[in-house]
Amino acid sequence: MKCLPAELISSLQSAKRVTVLTGAGLSAESGLPTFRGDGGLWKKYKAEDLASIDGFLKRPQVVWEWYEYRRSIYANARPNPGHLALVELEKFYPEFTLITQNTDGLHFAAGSENILELHGNIRRNRCHLCGKLYPEKVEPNGQVPPRCGCGGMLRPDVVWFGEALSPSILDAAWRAASQSELFFSIGTSALVQPAASLSLVAKRSGAVLVEINLEPTPLSFEVDYFLEGKASEWLFLIKEALQ
Ligand code: OAD
């Protein structure tokens, strides 16, 4: 049976500023595939073909259709108990920031409020030329991908490999990490930068660092607590410890 360490419970109860970084492992329990590991998207598909501007410019139709396929899966996904526990944590702490690498929008659907989407949101589009934002569903106007008024092709509003993150979102994430007393890294392989560095920023600024994952990651030897197992199960215990 899982049990939170007593010192972690006391940190949970005394902290005022808490930051959480989530990754694909949190949404795995909503039925969405992760990127790495068994069954991960990047085991089956090449990231450079489907998640880079070069891949998009080379085969825009293929990339667009792959994202449409993923959206059809995401459309049926619902927040799981892990997402819902994070909504409760946000109510408990005076300062709470939820940084996510996930583009599925499930933290919003669950009801979390202070969310920083580091890698964008797959449920939106934007013009690859002028940057104008579009909703997920757009009139195809006979072309695949659909075109913006300026003539540019639409693409999902996500950050692809080799692209910069939004400076304002990254700044806010950095600030939250460096000001937190308690920082959680949940369901992420901690391999993709700059997201992975946020945990270390928090630790070096004095935060207690907690990782929740099914298996150890490169971050694990830096953390104060490694909680091995499903995110939803540990988050349930954490939520209970605050009641
Ligand atoms: P990964 O697929 O790299 O890692 C998922 C992690 O979740 C692994 O370490 C798993 O062990 C863990 N995991 C799986 N199920 C879990 C569960 N139920 N509870 C706890 N942990 C679990 O996903 P990310 O680290 O999120 O980029 O990937 C980072 C970025 O790489 C993504 O945002 C994506 C991808 O390319 C973009 O979309 C821009």
Partners of 120 in beta bridges? 158
Q: Which CATH superfamily is domain 6-31+78-119+164-241 in?
A: TPP-binding domain (3.40.50.1220)
Q: Tell me what pLDDT residue 20 has.
A: 98
Question: pTM of the predicted model, to two decimals?
Answer: 0.96
Mean residue pLDDT across the chain: 96
Residue-level pLDDT at 172: 98
Please choose from 20, 214, 235 the residue to mutate so as to test ligand 1's pocket, defined by most ligand atoms within 8 A of CB.
214
CATH topology of domain 33-76+125-158: SIR2/SIRT2 'Small Domain' (3.30.1600)
Query: How many C-alpha atoms does 242 have within 13 Å on its Cβ side?
Result: 20
pLDDT band at 227 (very low <50, low <70, confident <90, very high): very high
How do the domains of the chain map onto residue ranges? 6-31+78-119+164-241, 33-76+125-158
- Angle between helical axes of 81-92 and 231-241 (0-180°, round to 10): 30
Section 158-177 average pLDDT: 97
Q: pLDDT band for 91, please (50, 70, 90 cuts).
A: very high
Q: Looking at residue 46, what is its pLDDT?
A: 87
pLDDT at residue 150 is higher than 80: yes
Confidence band, pLDDT 50/70/90 cuts, at residue 1: confident
- Determine contact, residues 192/22, Cβ cutoff 8 Å: no
The answer to whether the CB of 119 is under 6 A from ligand 1 is yes
- Three-state SS at 125: strand
